[in-house]
Amino acid sequence: MGFTDQRFNVNLSILFTELPLLERPAAAAAAGFTAVELWWPWVDAPTPEQAELDALKKAIEDAGVQLTGLNFYAGQLPGPDRGALSIPGEESDKFRANLKVAADFAESLGCKALNALYGNRVDGVDPAEQDKLALENLALAAKEADRVGAILLIEALNAPESPKCPIVSAPKAIEIVDAVNAATGLGNAKFLMDLYHLSMNGEDLPEVIEKYTAKTGHVQIADNPGRGAPGTGDLPLESLLDQLSKAGYEGFVGLEYKPGDKPSAEAFGWLPAEARAAR
């Protein structure tokens, strides 16, 4: 087994960002990939003009790639000042306004996974109040995802880079997954297992895989330290993905790493060309 046995997609919000958004799907295709994922591309616009949505849809279709993952609106990404659904006031309102827009866009491209980032703790606001709001909004998100035949992903970030985020461990993310499924009865909330974030938290990755693969809906990777391509750090990513496969994970593995100081197209040397097309 190994990298050649996985189904990879490229996150176009962290790779190929040297290009305009509408040129990135074709660049991923030119690099040999047939599947892509995206953070919500309009950081200041939860409900962009229909022409912008249509242009991105056309760029993805014209490139011949499949959109396999999309974030709901989460504010400014990347960076520590992100997340919306657990922040009272304007940010939560933006998240709710985005739900149908994002779900409809995902459905229009056959995308079956929608990611909802929790959001930071806010000074002066009771954490219990934020958690109550978060569960309400995650339940709404799960219902929107279910409406378009998609799963809802819930991700753990990492404390060193996102110190105000309360979801910074696999067990905590799983707790939220279970709470959303209990609240909705839909069973479509799943864990997004980002091996980079979990490694930054110091978690035992083989143990996380053993315990939580059955509740995992998507996997993302980057090496650590540095959040670069596999082989630039110390994580045994090939063996970890082998373990995931043996544990029954058959979904996509999102490439969510930084290309470094070279063009993104040159950041895939670790992955044989024949392994880049999703099977």
Is-catalytic flag, 256?
yes
* H or E, element range at 60: helix 50-63
Domain that holds residue 88: 3-275
CATH label of the domain that carries residue 266: 3.20.20.150
Asked if the model's pLDDT at residue 79 lies above 70, the reply is: no
Asked if the model's pLDDT at residue 58 lies above 60, the reply is: yes
**Is the peptide bond between 206 and the residue preceding it cis, with omega within 30 degrees of 0?**
no
List the structure tokens of 137.
């909004």
Is-catalytic flag, 250?
no
- For 207, phi and psi rounded to 5 degrees? -70, -40
Number of domains in the chain: 1
Contact 197, 157 (CB under 8 A): yes
Asked if the model's pLDDT at residue 81 lies above 80, the reply is: no
pLDDT of residue 126: 98
Query: Which of 37, 144, 203, 256 is an active site residue?
Result: 256
Query: Which of 155, 203, 238, 250 is an active site residue?
Result: 155
- What number is the average pLDDT over the span 1-11? 88
Q: What is the pLDDT of residues 188-244, one digit of tens each?
A: 999 999 999 999 999 999 999 999 999 999 999 999 999 999 999 999 999 999 999
